[in-house]
Amino acid sequence: MPGEKASAAGEALLRRLRRLVLRAANVRGSDHKQLIALLDDVETTRRGLLREAAEIESEMKQATVRTTAIGAYLRSSQVDRGKRRN
Protein backbone atom coordinates (compact mmCIF):
# COMPACT_ATOMS: atom_id res chain seq x y z
CA MET A 1 0.00 0.00 0.00
CA PRO A 2 1.22 3.53 -0.71
CA GLY A 3 0.33 4.65 2.80
CA GLU A 4 2.54 2.01 4.37
CA LYS A 5 5.49 2.97 2.16
CA ALA A 6 5.01 6.63 3.02
CA SER A 7 4.84 5.76 6.71
CA ALA A 8 8.06 3.74 6.54
CA ALA A 9 9.82 6.50 4.63
CA GLY A 10 8.56 9.11 7.07
CA GLU A 11 9.73 7.06 10.04
CA ALA A 12 13.18 6.69 8.48
CA LEU A 13 13.37 10.45 7.92
CA LEU A 14 12.36 11.13 11.53
CA ARG A 15 15.02 8.71 12.80
CA ARG A 16 17.57 10.49 10.59
CA LEU A 17 16.48 13.85 11.98
CA ARG A 18 16.92 12.58 15.55
CA ARG A 19 20.44 11.39 14.71
CA LEU A 20 21.23 14.77 13.17
CA VAL A 21 20.03 16.54 16.31
CA LEU A 22 22.32 14.36 18.40
CA ARG A 23 25.19 15.08 16.02
CA ALA A 24 24.48 18.81 16.24
CA ALA A 25 24.73 18.67 20.01
CA ASN A 26 28.29 17.36 19.72
CA VAL A 27 29.59 19.78 17.07
CA ARG A 28 31.90 22.53 18.20
CA GLY A 29 31.07 26.02 17.03
CA SER A 30 34.52 26.44 15.54
CA ASP A 31 34.18 23.40 13.22
CA HIS A 32 32.74 25.21 10.20
CA LYS A 33 33.07 22.30 7.75
CA GLN A 34 31.16 19.96 10.00
CA LEU A 35 28.50 22.62 10.67
CA ILE A 36 27.99 23.21 6.94
CA ALA A 37 27.69 19.47 6.30
CA LEU A 38 25.23 19.17 9.18
CA LEU A 39 23.12 22.06 7.88
CA ASP A 40 23.03 20.42 4.45
CA ASP A 41 21.92 17.10 5.95
CA VAL A 42 19.23 18.81 8.04
CA GLU A 43 17.92 20.68 4.99
CA THR A 44 17.82 17.50 2.90
CA THR A 45 15.92 15.71 5.66
CA ARG A 46 13.54 18.66 6.06
CA ARG A 47 12.71 18.59 2.34
CA GLY A 48 12.10 14.85 2.52
CA LEU A 49 9.73 15.30 5.46
CA LEU A 50 7.87 18.05 3.61
CA ARG A 51 7.44 15.74 0.61
CA GLU A 52 6.09 12.99 2.86
CA ALA A 53 3.71 15.43 4.56
CA ALA A 54 2.41 16.59 1.17
CA GLU A 55 1.87 12.99 0.09
CA ILE A 56 -0.03 12.20 3.28
CA GLU A 57 -2.17 15.31 2.83
CA SER A 58 -2.97 14.24 -0.72
CA GLU A 59 -3.97 10.77 0.47
CA MET A 60 -6.20 12.29 3.15
CA LYS A 61 -7.94 14.52 0.59
CA GLN A 62 -8.47 11.54 -1.69
CA ALA A 63 -9.94 9.52 1.20
CA THR A 64 -12.29 12.42 2.03
CA VAL A 65 -13.50 12.58 -1.57
CA ARG A 66 -14.08 8.82 -1.62
CA THR A 67 -15.96 8.95 1.68
CA THR A 68 -18.18 11.75 0.38
CA ALA A 69 -18.88 9.81 -2.83
CA ILE A 70 -19.75 6.64 -0.90
CA GLY A 71 -22.10 8.62 1.35
CA ALA A 72 -23.82 10.21 -1.64
CA TYR A 73 -24.19 6.83 -3.33
CA LEU A 74 -25.64 5.35 -0.14
CA ARG A 75 -28.16 8.17 0.26
CA SER A 76 -29.14 7.89 -3.38
CA SER A 77 -29.68 4.14 -3.15
CA GLN A 78 -31.82 4.55 -0.01
CA VAL A 79 -34.00 7.18 -1.70
CA ASP A 80 -34.53 4.95 -4.74
CA ARG A 81 -35.74 2.08 -2.54
CA GLY A 82 -38.49 4.20 -1.04
CA LYS A 83 -40.00 5.21 -4.38
CA ARG A 84 -42.63 3.22 -6.20
CA ARG A 85 -42.06 2.60 -9.84
CA ASN A 86 -44.92 2.06 -12.25
pLDDT digits (tens, 9 = 90+) for 24-79: 888 877 888 888 899 999 999 999 999 999 999 999 999 999 999 999 999 888 87
Q: Is the pTM of this model over 0.85?
A: no
Three-state secondary structure readout of the chain: CHHHHHHHHHHHHHHHHHHHHHHHHHCCCCCHHHHHHHHHHHHHHHHHHHHHHHHHHHHHHHHHHHHHHHHHHHHHHHHHHHCCCC
Residue 49, amino acid? L
Q: Which domain holds residue 11?
A: 2-82
The rounded distance, in Å, linking the Cα atoms of 20 and 35 is 11
Collapse the DSSP code of 81 into the 3-class scheme (helix H, G, I; strand E, B; otherwise coil) and give the result: helix
More confident residue, 51 or 10: 51
* Total of domains in the chain: 1
